[in-house]
A and B are shown apart, each in its own frame.
Chain A
Amino acid sequence: MSVTTLPSPALTQRQPSWLVRLFDTKPFLIVMCLAPAIGLLAVFLTYPLGLGIWLAFTDTTIGRKGVFVGLENFQYLLTDPLWWNAVFYSVVYTAIATFGKFALGFWLALLLNNHFPFKSLLRAIILLPWIVPTVLSALAFWWIYDPQFSIISYLLVDVLHWRTSNIDFLGSPWPARFSLIAANIWRGIPFVAISLLAGLQTISPSLYEAAMLDGASAWQRFRYITFPMMMPILAIVMTFSIIFTFTDFQLVYAITRGGPVNSTHLLATLAFQRGIAGGELGEGAAIAVSMIPFLVFATLFSYFGLARRKWQQGEAND
């Protein structure tokens, strides 16, 4: 270790002031170092989280302090078809988008794991959809999905002659739902691909060499080496992806705002509509809080589901 270059003699000769000595006592320093981060998180994260749960049990509206009403908000939500609709679409949105992101992202990662020229440039370009603010790329999708001037319709109708009329992407429930899911997948592929690529690069090539000498086919190599070795990283990336897809807000708010006829409301956009735009803070908070059980369930499912499969396959060495 080349530590001798430090200006150590000068330091020892100076008599440190009380302030310096105070900062040199470990407990004080620990508290000082942790204070900004913990303080920020306590005031703007932990406290609001508790407050949100409290609000969910009150009938607070904007401009009026509410009173405790127990489970009334939740009982109301259970009878509210729009809430059920949002639950349904949130689950569908998360399930299909996550599946799409991981299928395509894994494929892209496997492609990027090959050797070819300009690889790092390509990797940089591919991350762009993830870097650019979601709302701004969502606007581009809104324009791509335009009922009259959609470029997809133009291709299908005027260039390829596959269809005779324009597709009304955002005008009716199911097409709108799938249009949003497609935009979400587009945005999520880069992150999944780059994260899984990192995982692929940690797999030792000798495993593949050994398998090939044993006569394993490409499918067998994928099934018995790549897939199990990727399980831990898949579990982490998928957990993150599920949490942030389920609680997504920007994409839906930018493209459909929950329409047509409230068919594309996610729980987050419904909470915004009721809580902030509609002023019913208590009810909005209840909708937001109702996401928590789904999140906990999805997290446990993805994390332990994938982790357990790894364990079943007896991959102790990772």
Chain B
Amino acid sequence: MTDTVAQPTADARAAPDTMAWDSGLRRLMMIYLPLGCFVLILLFPFYWMAITSFKPNAELMNYKEHNPFWISSPTLAHIKHLLFDTAYPRWLWTTMLVAIGSTTLSLIASTLAAYAIERLRFRGSAYVGLGIYLAYLVPPSILFIPLATVVVQFGLFDSPLALILVYPTFLVPFCTWLLIGYFKSIPYELEECALVDGATRLQILRRITLPLAVPGLISAGIFSFTLSWNEFIYALAFIQSGANKTVPVAILTELVTGDVYQWGALMAGSLLGSLPVAIFYSLFVDYYVSSLTGAVKE
């Protein structure tokens, strides 16, 4: 199924004449039509989420009289309910705090680690790098039960600080891996010259290596931010009180109540919870895509 679309068919005789199949109807059918379907399906749930957020309940539950794909009389009632009748602003704030905290912590730890592994070259540095990389392959679903007991031991149960400290376990391996790649791309001679000129290693890191690695730091930052905003299982297991929950957990455990689901409010909550990541992502989308592709190529 995937294969046939590799390139529109060109048999041996027509092969050199590349323009023949590169134009017109064929291109429409082989490229634009499937591409359109992909975009439609990939974006539809977001459209549905958005449209539900602004629909009055009467329209939400009545497809006979109202076209479900459109809103006849948009309302802000669901968003108002979310912002004023629930602890949603508090959840957003906690999520933001946790995401920024764990991102900062991870960036500091992984920048230093990547610098040590890639630039300070010591015996076994390759193994340390491999070890940190392998840590990424340990999924949170295996760790959350013992981690819960560790968090209790540290007296951090039900505290957002627990999440700030625990999220780096999956952020640091990823960021270190990404930053090692960036440090590799910075010419070593720059540092050698500075060393010869008498700069200390910390000065070299601060004045030469870090400024040149800014694109890498930005993409590591975006990845960390989106990953910690997305994280669910640790936040579900370690946080108990309603006020300290992060958005994904709170929506699911606090907003889903009873038998009749408040779809309008739920979708408004999902939309509002997605917006910060989507905005943050759209600001740096080029860094994001290029580092994602770069990281995979490594």
User: Which residue numbers of A lie inside 8 Å of B, CB to CB?
Assistant: 1, 3, 6, 8, 11-12, 16, 20, 23-24, 26-27, 29-30, 32-34, 36-38, 40-41, 43-49, 51-52, 55, 103-104, 106-108, 110-112, 114, 116, 120, 122-129, 131-137, 139-141, 143-144, 146, 148-149, 151, 154, 158, 186, 189-190, 194-195, 197-199, 201-202, 212-213, 215-219, 221-223, 226, 233, 236-237, 243-244, 247-250, 253-254, 267-268, 271-272, 275-276, 281, 284-285, 288-289, 291-292, 295, 299
Contacts and interface: CB of A to CB of B under 8 A. Distances in A.
Interface string B195-209: 001111111000110
Interface in B199-235: 199-203, 207-208, 226, 229-230, 232-233
26 contacts: A23-B202, A38-B128, A41-B173, A45-B138, A46-B135, A51-B150, A107-B1, A111-B5, A111-B31, A126-B42, A132-B278, A135-B232, A137-B49, A137-B274, A139-B266, A143-B49, A144-B48, A186-B45, A212-B15, A236-B296, A244-B139, A247-B140, A250-B232, A275-B145, A276-B145, A295-B139
B83 interface: no
Contact of B46 (A48, A128, A148, A267): A128
A26 B119 CA distance: 11
B31 A33 contact: no
Contacts of B273: 133, 136
B230 A40 contact: no
B48 A151 contact: yes
A6 B194 contact: yes
Most chain B CB neighbours (cut-off 10 Å) among A8, A133, A151, A299 = A133
Q: Which 10 pairs show the lowest CB-CB distances between chains A and B?
A: A198-B293, A8-B197, A215-B12, A33-B116, A268-B141, A222-B6, A52-B146, A37-B113, A247-B139, A135-B248
Contacts of A291: 139, 141-142
B168 interface: yes
Interface in B250-292: 251-252, 261, 263, 266-267, 269-270, 273-274, 277-278, 281-282, 285-286, 288-289, 292
Nearest to B285: A124
A8 B194 contact: yes
Contact residues on B (Cβ < 8 Å of other chain), bracket: 35 or more
B3 A36 contact: no
Contacts of A221: 6-7
Contacts of B233: 249-250, 268, 272
B252 A131 contact: no
B244 interface: no
Contacts of A197: 293
Interface string B144-182: 111111100000000000000110110011001000000
